[in-house]
């Protein structure tokens, strides 16, 4: 009898992705539907070794000036990119993974559109990777945090160049 490891076991046997072997970037401009905005992020294994990721990225969102309210990042999905249960994603050299970033652009029209609302940078920290101290990838994303109601959502990391749409 020949036994083969399950996908979960095989993914655990593959080492976690190292910060130096990955690149993270906004894949393309935002998609929109009825005031909901979705931005796909691409993760590429630019290294020479296979590696794995699982879970949700951690996002730090920076406005031009200090925001009056903190911007809440919710794990899950939104209208553009659907919630997907986290699974091990195995990245061969040159392979892609992705996650979706969702927000609503018309939740709070009362706040001004000044520098305390204008987001230009999103810092992405990926789960399950060495070293064990946080290292961020800086990306450029422009949106109004006040109009989003100070809340965005992020999907889990998924295999392929585009996250599952909602």
Give the mean pLDDT of 146-158.
90
Domain residue ranges in the chain: 7-159
Please compute, for residue 12, the number of CA atoms within 13 A of its CA located in the half-sphere on the CB side.
5
CB-based contact 91:46 (threshold 8 Å): no
* The pLDDT of residue 50: 96
The per-residue pLDDT of the chain, averaged, comes to 84
- Quote the pTM value: 0.85
Please, which pLDDT band fits residue 5 given cuts at 50, 70 and 90? very low
């Amino acid at each position: 009898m020949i036994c083969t490891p399950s996908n979960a076991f095989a993914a655990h046997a593959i080492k976690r992705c190292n910060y130096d072997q990955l690149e993270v970037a906004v894949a393309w401009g935002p998609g929109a539907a009825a005031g909901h905005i979705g931005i796909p992020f691409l993760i590429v294994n630019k290294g020479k070794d296979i590696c794995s990721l699982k879970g949700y990225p951690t996002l730090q969102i920076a406005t031009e000036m200090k925001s009056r309210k903190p911007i809440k990042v919710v794990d899950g999905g939104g209208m553009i990119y659907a919630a997907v249960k986290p699974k091990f994603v195995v990245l061969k050299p040159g392979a892609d993974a992705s996650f979706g970033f969702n927000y609503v652009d018309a939740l709070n029209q009362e706040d001004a559109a000044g520098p305390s609302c204008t987001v230009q940078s999103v810092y992405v920290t990926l789960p399950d990777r060495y070293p064990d101290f946080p290292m961020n990838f800086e990306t450029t994303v422009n949106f109004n945090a006040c109009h989003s109601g100070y809340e965005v959502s992020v999907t889990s990391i998924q295999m392929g160049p585009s996250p599952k749409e909602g």
